[in-house]
Structure 1
């Protein structure tokens, strides 16, 4: 390993990143008001108990807040066999005729998706049906299993009216994919509260939960204080709930997730540098840091423009250092040279202790599950202090996980 490469987390044990989370500390429902959640403020080793609506007071002056504007789709479908039994289909990612999420959501007539199948052992063969209504008119979705994989199936969907885009089918027939640990059906409250107020681009099967605390009032207060904002898109996959089962991180495959960032956002980041950039949520953070690695590769290998992917271990194998400005500028120059307005890529980036942050200087985030890759990311940002932060939250009544309270981490 070269002197500039990060220490390698491949041999970390996830069991070193655990704590006891009593079930009663997991928030089962959202609070009545988004911005009334609590906010644990960590700065340079010091902790303060605050309210989320105070966030504009606590951010460093001249901060740029970066939001993930993905929108959660109603990815859970409950279809019926001819005998009446129910089969649950959880849409994970599109396979055909499109693999990119945006065109896949606009597909009409039929499509193939990779799905998790509930009650699948009782679904031997043949199609299953789901009847629903769109604007008061009857509609039907048919699902057929094309291929069974390891832990998933390829499902061919077809529907009538065939002119409906698949996004409209899911909106009308599907259910929100709440985190499995909530262990309850979704409600009309979830339909509003399991989305951020700034959600724009459909494609996520889990919410970027750090953003759930932002209300229109908090956003207005940020603008009043001249704290600027930018948007990136990472469509959160079901892998965000995937437990780490391997003894060492080397054995845990990170799921790939699609990201997209506009040329305008890249210009914003460059113009703001070197003032503080604060990520709203781990997904925004991973997107921003992934931009660095995409740009660094472009600087070092200008001909490798087709490789718009960040591998799980790429940061820990880097041989030379590229500045953040040079990396971001390389991406922007590429877009300007090709006339593209947006960069599309995928990332498997694993951020763990030993990682050197290139773009962000702070993070707004919820409290994450024990032995999760999200907790590894927090530990990478704040170091061993993560234990002190989480113990303080446990000792002082904070609510945990997706509908829980928030933290602002400024290491």
Structure 2
């Protein structure tokens, strides 16, 4: 398919700048693949669209306070997005402006508690950093900010430290939230459990590639960045048992889908436990092995996330759903509303 097939016009005022009052207050567009129906609903009533025996798959990654402003010896500011530690003891980060962070430059916090040296350069502003003095993880906890996406055009607030995390976030390592999971409160999860809809956990640490557009009209030319995932043995076993009993695997977010499908790749197509680095890239046509239904937010054009949704629901139905969502003034992107694709 051509990437332009999924382009759409979005009025800027439909890009959600803040979360809904309560997590479950978001609207929900139910998309039925069997007949193409589009139904307006609300996340708070998600249980009406699920049945006892279905299982939610939650990504319990936690967003690191990864945005850190440091200074060159000359005083110039450099903003870092600290992505992850590397096996050699350095850290992978994105620097902005990148031209101020060339190899050999030392970057420090104003109070001198942390000094980093740039020891490597990559594409797209990627830098390798060596800790010269201090504790980077401690500095992030003390001075780092939650890295809100660039389309949220405001500074992060204390509210974002809570609302840009899922209530089930446990394993720190992401630089972006698995946003479909932001709609769940403890009360909503408890209510679903009371209806017989269980939940299992896995991890995929969302990397900066989630913000990067697919630049070629032919999406097959795009290359995914690697991300760490972990599908535990208990999660895989419970999902296999649910399916054997007639239940559905309901992935909460595209990150959960990619983790499950990566695990299927590791077992010749069957769902089993797996962990490691993945560059799993899903675009039409694709046969899903580990997912039966998908809860997801509305995504930017020309992104790998929208391609995955098109692979799951079909490009024509996705175009119709997005046109409906714009017409009905749904809120888009990270703090926006959701789709449930059945």
Band the TM-score falls in, shorter-chain normalisation: over 0.9
Q: C-alpha deviations, 1:255-298, integer Å up to 9, x for none?
A: 111101211112212221232110000000111111111110xx
Against the structure 1 CA distance between its residues 37 and 355, is the aligned structure 2 distance closer, same or farther, given a 3 Å change threshold?
same
SS of equivalent to 1:180: coil
1:123 Cα offset (Å): 4.8
Q: Which residue of 1 aligns with 2:107?
A: 128
The correspondence for 1:354, drawn from 278, 285, 288, is 285
1:131 Cα offset (Å): 4.7
1:87 aligns with 2:61: no
Alignment of 1:392-407 (within 5 A): 392-407=324-339
The correspondence for 2:258, drawn from 261, 282, 286, is 286
Q: Which residue of 1 aligns with 2:205?
A: 235
Distance 1:202 1:226 in 2: 29
1:35 aligns with 2:46: no
Alignment of 1:60-71 (within 5 A): 60-71=51-62
Q: C-alpha deviations, 1:187-221, integer Å up to 9, x for none?
A: 11110000000000000001000000101110110
Distance 1:60 1:223 in 2: 11
Q: Which residue of 2 aligns with 1:168?
A: 138
SS of equivalent to 2:81: strand
Alignment of 1:112-127 (within 5 A): 112-123=90-101, 126-127=105-106
Provide the alpha-carbon RMSD of the alignment: 1.7
Q: Which residue of 1 aligns with 2:130?
A: 156
SS of equivalent to 1:82: coil
1:247 aligns with 2:247: no
SS of equivalent to 2:113: strand
1:394 Cα offset (Å): 0.5
SS of equivalent to 1:379: helix
1:120 Cα offset (Å): 3.4
Q: Which residue of 2 aligns with 1:141?
A: 114
**Looking at CA atoms only, which structure, 1 or 2, has the larger radius of gyration?**
1
SS of equivalent to 2:94: strand
Distance 2:306 2:324 in 1: 15
Check the 8 A contact 2:58/2:199 in 1, yes or no.
yes
- Structure 2 unpaired stretches of 5+: none
Distance 2:39 2:113 in 1: 53
The correspondence for 2:294, drawn from 363, 386, 390, is 363
SS of equivalent to 1:181: coil
1:22 aligns with 2:8: no
Q: Which residue of 2 aligns with 1:385?
A: 317
- Runs of 4 or more consecutive aligned structure 1 residues displaced over 4 Å after TM superposition: none
Distance 2:67 2:308 in 1: 28
SS of equivalent to 2:156: coil
Farther off after superposition, 171-180 or 225-234: 171-180
1:220 aligns with 2:190: yes
Distance 2:151 2:212 in 1: 12
Aligned length, in residue pairs: 335
Distance 1:38 1:51 in 2: 4
1:121 Cα offset (Å): 2.4
Distance 1:256 1:148 in 2: 17
- Structure 1 unpaired stretches of 5+: 1-11, 98-110, 133-138, 297-321, 333-342
SS of equivalent to 2:123: coil
The correspondence for 1:345, drawn from 243, 257, 276, is 276
Check the 8 A contact 1:21/1:370 in 2, yes or no.
no
SS of equivalent to 2:78: strand
1:379 Cα offset (Å): 1.1
Against the structure 1 CA distance between its residues 55 and 140, is the aligned structure 2 distance closer, same or farther, given a 3 Å change threshold?
same
Against the structure 1 CA distance between its residues 264 and 20, is the aligned structure 2 distance closer, same or farther, given a 3 Å change threshold?
same
